[in-house]
Structure 1
């Protein structure tokens, strides 16, 4: 959870094909060792017992690594969604992109204030796009937010780039979603780096 929350990459030394020394096992293993040294007897017992059974789930070659990362990601995302639910208002942020395999996708994030009036901007996830037109993109955002059970009556902003597909007042994404949430004003976002 710590590594995901603070955006620390889960890399093992072998992932980089570098072995600086025999003790360099990567961020995740180092954090687990730190946790054990700090007195986490449950984790220490797991590694002591599991290492005899050869099932610690800490190997870079472990196929369960992606499952563990996905589960941790879900926990973090659920905490963000819960924080957004507690906020009085929020804005949706989105940017269309193409992944490494050439498939269209949409990155979706939220911006909200907590009870201490601290502004948070958080990445929620990616969703695949079947097309790059405004109806498809607006439908993807709508479906994504409904899936996460966001209350549209609290949505007061939309942040996208200024391309016509996103920014069009009538047929653009902002126009379509404004029909769903009339309070959701459109703001131009030049770069959504932090989500």
Structure 2
């Protein structure tokens, strides 16, 4: 009877099963387009506002697994990334002439990452667009040159005559006149003139100024000694424990190592000390107390083995 009722309804409305399936398919497409648009808007908001897309814990038992599992899919992010990168590459090809900016940085897993930015003029506007990240397992000039040129080749960006500039930091492996990355790329692209990154040049000036001021020089020397001391296995474990005790609701922080070529490292190092000064002092007191106890323990053991060696005050 149900089937007959459905048949009568279709006949009365002059509707076939094929039409019903077509309408259902169109409705499904419309719903999917709506969901994709919504997910794209969420990705755009979280990225531009620098909101976390992942939760601290993402297991089934957690109430807040993060935005990725709640409202996003990694596939959507990958699709959007491909679309954006394709648009950047097409603009660069249409602009014809371009330059590159390359730098290295370590990610959270301590893997050296090579970041490549492409700079070009498109429709009378100047753009600096991120093009690619590449893990750099070898940091010699030949390997870095190979990775940089491979990125351009993979995106089919013609560089032999169209690459007119390259900007790196001033370390010898990048800026070496004869065997540096800049010199090797210029052999492949003769118009690719090298420019020492102005941000790094300003940083080198500031480093030299700091070294000429005794108080500032001593301060940053102390920061470096703190980093070396607390990076030790025993002191570092205590450093993490002290932070968890003093700042239970905040993520643990790491002290930053100073570098003459990483222009933001001094600011980062000072910021961690400012935000975790109580933990630094508590950690130093704790380590000092433990070392004192160990020293006393060793002396007591020596007294037990050789009482004559004890020298009363």
Q: TM-score, normalised by structure 1?
A: 0.68
How far off is 1:7 after superposition?
4.9
The answer to whether the aligner puts 1:83 opposite 2:123 as a matched pair is no
Relative CO higher for 1 or 2, CA cutoff 8 Å, sep ≥ 6? 1
Residue aligning to 2:143: 136
2:190 to 177, 182, 193: 182
Return structure 1 stretches of 4+ with deviation > 2 angstroms. Answer: 1-7, 9-17, 190-193
The change in CA–CA distance for 1:131 and 1:142 in structure 2 (over 3 A counts) is: same
How far off is 1:125 after superposition?
1.6
- Superposed counterparts of 1:60-139, under 5 Å: 60-61=68-69, 65-116=73-124, 118-139=125-146
Distance 1:187 1:156 in 2: 11
More strand per residue: 1 or 2? 1
Structure 1: gaps spanning 5 or more residues: 18-58
Please identify the structure whose Cα radius of gyration is greater: 2
Distance 1:6 1:83 in 2: 25
More helix per residue: 1 or 2? 2
Q: Is residue 46–residue 52 contact of structure 2 (8 Å, CA) maintained in 1?
A: no
Q: TM-score, normalised by structure 2?
A: 0.44
How far off is 1:12 after superposition?
6.9
Residue aligning to 1:146: 153
- Superposed counterparts of 1:156-171, under 5 Å: 156-171=164-179
Q: Is residue 4–residue 73 contact of structure 1 (8 Å, CA) maintained in 2?
A: no
Q: Is residue 5–residue 76 contact of structure 1 (8 Å, CA) maintained in 2?
A: no
Q: Is residue 94–residue 159 contact of structure 1 (8 Å, CA) maintained in 2?
A: yes
Q: Is residue 105–residue 126 contact of structure 1 (8 Å, CA) maintained in 2?
A: yes
Distance 1:81 1:70 in 2: 16
Structure 2: gaps spanning 5 or more residues: 1-39, 58-66, 201-262, 264-313
The change in CA–CA distance for 1:14 and 1:128 in structure 2 (over 3 A counts) is: closer
The RMSD of aligned alpha carbons is: 3.1
